[in-house]
Chain A
Amino acid sequence: MERKIKKVLIANRGVPAVRVMHTCRDKNIKTVAIYSTPDRLAYHVFLADEAVHIGEGPPLDSYLNMDKIIDVALRTNCDAIHPGWGFLAENPEFAEKVESAGLIWIGPPPQVIKLMGDKIRAKRVAQRANVPTIPALLKFNSIEDILNWMKEEEISFPLMIKAAYGGGGKGMVKVENKEELPIALEKARSEAKKAFGDETLLVEKYIERGRHIEVQVCADRYGHYLHFYERECTIQRRNQKILEEAPSPSIDDNMRQEICYTAIRLMREINYQSLGTVEFLLDPKTKRFYFLEVNTRLQVEHGITELITGVDLVSLMFDIAEGKPIPFFQEDILPNRHAIEARINAEDPRTFSPSFGTVTRLEIPQGPGIRIASGIYEGAEVPPYYDSLIMLVMAAGPDRKEAIRVLDRALSRGLRVEGVKTIAPLLLSIIRHSEFIEGNYSTRFIEEHYEELLSAFREKTSDDEALKIAQYIAEVSALGPQKWM
């Protein structure tokens, strides 16, 4: 049964909302944006065909306010809701409510979201599908339980505590020793509660110097399962990805085939539909990979897969939601490029503390091989309530070396953000670091090279210089000759 989507509400803001709207425009689908009070003048609001105010700044009053969002969708005659990523994208209750309201949910079925959102059940399903998983303790009542399990399974510190319903690095805490356990559990529990509304935790063995590899999968309701190859997302800070690339430089073609078909096997097992990602952790010592989780949504880094395959994944999500079959086969997907994405977060590149305020200057990179998804414009406000991602800068080239070169051009010569701090200088130092260039890195790359990365050279253009001079002229023009002169 096919249902045509003519108008969609995008239950998101910033970069994800903008990304989805671009495809809607291509597909001639009308868009409705929602916005909170501090987002009144945000970029996504004006890119949409219509916009509706949804509530105050705090997410619970606005972008997480399920009933209100559905109400707006109905009032504005939308056929569907696209959740983007973050906020309600992996909330099965919301997906259910959307469907019960007679709207199309652009994403996997609610029960799949629910199943995969429960890390403990997900792990069990994976084991059933013969997908290797990290040794874990899925249920415990006390610290004693954890210590006993470690003894039995011969597991030593460090451990990783995770929120059972978590994702995106939130509610994830690494524990180095016994003494840290109580505080770490408390921190993970509280973060989990706040971010996901549930404080159930699980404990896993920590894989040292692990590499984070994920497979992009897509399935329609007719049982067609396809993969779009893998992405590597090993460069992280505080368990959040900041630099992703495809294909992964860590694996060869044999392992690539194995990991991709393992992902499909798992997705088949759970009757997955729509776009989704299976995340694995690769232990570089043993060359074994372990299932981490399934992301039941569009991912931030989907763009690099689009760059290497030439497919619009968001468009595919719409088609599948409309009930159309995937219009091509696995053998049609032939990646022939290398792509890298840099997440431009509004954060202090030294401390990662969030930076908000007005974007006083914005210059967007251009030129061959560059793709940009921006949630801001020059003059826009970055409010303190939300995720710090303000822009994605992607670069593609015939091989990894060329892709790095293009990204270097984009970050050093093209991108300029002033008014808020961004991690762009850090990203630039990472892609210039010899270990990164050689593909020799782990999830702890930033911690390990912190000092070098911070001290790395930052390129300045003559325009940057001219603006500094202008700043001086402005001050002297306003204030007259200065005392220190």
Chain B
Amino acid sequence: MDYIFVQPGMSPKEIVKKVRELPGVCFVSVGMRDAGQSDYKNRLRIYDLKTLAPYYNEMGLFAAECHGGARWHVGIMNRRESPFEEIAILRELMPKVLLQTLIRETNMWGYRPYPKNIIEYVVERVDIDVWRCFSFLNDIRNMRTVAEVVMKKGKLFEPAISYTVAPWFDTKYYLKVVDEIVALCGGVDEIILCIKDMAGVGTITSVTELIDAIKQKYPDLVINYHRHITDGLAMPVLLAAAKVGAKIIDVQEDTLVRFYGHSPILAVEALFKEMGIPVHLNRKAAEKAVEKVREWIREYEWAESPFKGLDHMVTRHKMPGGAFPSSFEQAEKGGFLYLMPYILQVMSLYNQIVKYFDVTPGSQITWVTCSGIVNRYAKERGDVGVQHVINLLKKFVEEKKQDFSAMEPEEQEELLQLFRNAPGDFKNLLLGHYGRLPVGWPDEWVYRSAFGEAWQEKIKERKEESPLEAIPDEDLTLLRKQLEEEIGRPATEEEFILFLMHPKDAIDFIKFREKYGIAPLVLPTKVWREGLKKSGDKVEFEINGKPYCIELVSISLENEGMVYIVLKVNNKNRVFEVATPRAKKVEIRKATKFNEIGAPIKGTLWRIGNPQRGPLKIGDIVHKNEEIANLEAMKMENPILAPFDAQIVEICVRANQIVEEGQLLFVLQPVESLTPSETTRLEEVPC
């Protein structure tokens, strides 16, 4: 039996109709994106993930979430894979599967709101079938551009409501958000609604109530429920969601499941079946995929979170599954992993003061703000300080119900300092740069705390309109030029898009790939991470179907910071020189300022001065266009002229020295800027 019921190329209307017609539920596998993001810091490589593709191609999934979120950025930064390559590989290996991305409305796949013209340019050019789009503020206005471009190009738009459980985010609130979505998308026939429970805090009651309410109002709206598992209660809640009408459920391969991702696909299928809910799934293919994961998942143990285990306390601090690993990573790098429990406590109080959804970029803002507060107290006053600030916030939030005037004067004073060192993004959030906060702006004291005396002016500056309206378009031609200058050649369309999302990291990525080619795509994970260990170890791969074999012959001992490695590349011995961090780096000063004269090309600086006046020394006055040195390269002479009347402050090279292009030769001081005393003083310097 063929399980494929939706395929790339179908119109959104057709896809929605197919899902509606299913007798029960179907699955999205997040094995290729959110599973890795939640438990493996997004380090799962396409080299391994693509082994699942042939099974996905037969499984009868609704879609494969394989793109977007932080996978894009971590891809270019840490895995050195481009999201475009991943799409191309998956399209080839699973042509029958809808590819799904996760996009953060105006923040797209980055962490800042992009201008409208960039959003349009990028969304138009990314080949994805299902566009799941969420706003961490549930500011549906921000989705407009993505929705328009996606729907115009005939792809399926899947707006998501960011979901959490809090007294102020009640069913009425969510229904209003759904109303806005339905209005934006012109009805319910060409979209699928996602309920994105990114911390995994929905309860049987709350989720049943919400989906039931939505279905009553919009009976034809197809609902996809996405829920992380950290609280330990995911599967019963998924069951409840399905019972009440959710048609699509997010799951992942059982063997990928750890503590922060999603429920196991085979287990969910079994549970639903037992409870009488038909599941559209080729279980045999799914079993094979689950089995396949075992072949490579052990290679990623290093990437797993140091805090292992489920924890129902997530329902308090609400850190989303996807944000856990990166938070741990940063805490570990910053040496404050031991503060994690306190930071989580502060988060659970903070999210009652400034109310939004802890998901990118909100989760980063929460994390940096809260970890910053805890770190500051820890540094200044140790553990006692940390406990003190938690008690202070507990008193304010729980006891005094956030009544600022009810706090003691010195406590008020302390609260007014709480956000003074908060990150710029936190301040931008308060100023509306990301859009409207979901249930209104925070209290005045938060602004006083963040901005000090300027708080009233800042409140006036606060933007009520969507960043789509507020952010001016950027000059794409100019940006492309910047990139091309940086890489020294024309950029491909894909490179340009990477650059638009993350300028600095995209350039690093492009340069990495120029140097190391397709190594990230063809090397097995063990070799990718550790290389070859002992003589005779080899790795085999193909390029355009041609077999290549690289075998380690020997690694030399380190000598003056250099290691020499002999590899057999298709039977031919080659020596590779590798500089260790201990390699002596000859620092070459480069001319950068207007008064610094650099070498125009590489060559021998055979003369300092000119034949008329002989050699120059420090303190000499030279005149505009006077030859001050001469550089010979391949028997051609290149006079170096003084750009203005100047005194020589420093001669940085010796005569007959070989100099690099751009190497600093002279430091000059313009004559007009010299005072008489300076002239004397400089001339006294012995040369």
Contacts and interface: CB of A to CB of B under 8 A. Distances in A.
B531 interface: yes
Given A190-B630, A347-B634, A388-B634, A468 B517 contact: yes
Interface in B302-348: 302
Contacts of A471: 515-516, 576
Interface string B521-539: 0110001111111000001
B490 interface: yes
A466 B602 contact: no
A476 B516 CA distance: 11
A194 B637 contact: yes
Contact of A480 (B530, B575, B604): B530
Contacts of B488: 350
A311 interface: no
Contacts of A195: 635
Contacts of A355: 602
Interface in A455-480: 455, 462, 464-480
B515 A473 contact: no
A484 interface: yes
A39 to B, nearest CB: 16
Nearest to A182: B625
Contacts of A409: none
Contacts of A437: none
Interface string B591-619: 00000000001111000001100000000
A353 B600 CA distance: 9
Contacts of B531: 473-478, 480
Contacts of B569: 466-467, 470
Contacts of A485: 43, 78, 529
A352 B530 contact: no
Contacts of B532: 473, 477
A361 B572 CA distance: 12
Contacts of A476: 527-531
A387 interface: yes
Contact of A465 (B78, B518, B567): B518
B85 to A, nearest CB: 14
B565 interface: yes
Interface extent on A, as a size class?
A: 35 or more
Nearest to A466: B548
Nearest to A168: B635
Interface in B237-267: none
Contacts of A256: none
A352 B578 CA distance: 27
Contacts of B78: 484-485
Given A466-B543, A473-B567, A353 B661 contact: yes
B555 A194 contact: no
Given A190-B611, A455-B490, A472-B519, A478 B636 contact: no
Interface in A384-420: 384, 387-388
A56 interface: no
Interface string A175-195: 000000001001100110011
Interface in B211-249: none
A195 B527 CA distance: 54
A467 B519 contact: no
Contacts of B574: 361, 467, 470
Contact of A187 (B563, B633, B637): B637
A238 interface: yes
Contacts of A365: none
Contacts of B570: 466
A348 B641 CA distance: 23
B585 interface: no
A327 interface: no
B470 interface: no
A244 B523 CA distance: 44
B181 interface: no
Contact of B661 (A170, A351, A468): A351
A466 B601 contact: no
B530 A170 contact: no
A467 B539 CA distance: 13
Contacts of A474: 531, 565, 567, 576, 578
A384 B604 CA distance: 9
A367 interface: no
A465 B543 contact: yes
B541 A469 contact: yes
Contact of A191 (B530, B637, B661): B637
Contact of B603 (A238, A354, A466, A467): A354
A454 to B, nearest CB: 8
A368 interface: no
Contacts of A384: 604, 658
A343 to B, nearest CB: 12
Contacts of B565: 474, 477-478
A25 B674 CA distance: 69
B681 interface: no
B578 A475 contact: yes
Nearest to A480: B530
Interface string B631-671: 01111110101000000000000000010010000000000
B656 to A, nearest CB: 10
A170 B625 CA distance: 23
A481 B79 CA distance: 12
Contacts of B632: 194
A186 B625 CA distance: 13
A469 B601 contact: no
B630 A478 contact: no
Contact of B636 (A191, A348, A454, A477): A191
A353 B528 CA distance: 36
Nearest to B513: A468
A479 B578 contact: yes
B580 A469 contact: no
Interface in A328-358: 347-348, 350-355
B152 interface: no
Interface string B548-574: 101010010000000101010110001
A477 B489 contact: no
Given A455-B489, A468-B517, A473-B550, A462 B543 contact: yes
A454 B489 CA distance: 8
Contacts of B489: 454-455
Q: Which of B546, B555, B576, B636 has the most CB of A within 10 A?
A: B636
A354 B658 CA distance: 11
Contacts of B490: 455
B603 to A, nearest CB: 7
A195 B636 CA distance: 9
A354 B522 contact: no
A417 B565 CA distance: 20
B625 A353 contact: no
A477 B565 CA distance: 8
A194 B574 CA distance: 41
A270 B603 CA distance: 40
A470 B637 contact: no
Contacts of B546: 462
B555 A484 contact: no
Nearest to B539: A473
Nearest to B661: A353
Contacts of A183: 625, 627, 639, 641
A387 B635 contact: yes
A418 to B, nearest CB: 10
B544 interface: yes
B77 interface: yes
A475 B580 CA distance: 9
Given A183-B639, A384-B658, A470-B567, A477 B555 contact: yes
Contacts of B639: 183, 186-187
6 contacts: A353-B633, A454-B489, A466-B569, A466-B570, A468-B519, A479-B580
Given A353-B633, A360-B575, A481-B529, 6 more contacts: A190-B637, A354-B634, A361-B574, A468-B515, A474-B567, A476-B528
Closest 5 CB pairs of A and B: A477-B531, A468-B517, A474-B576, A353-B601, A476-B531
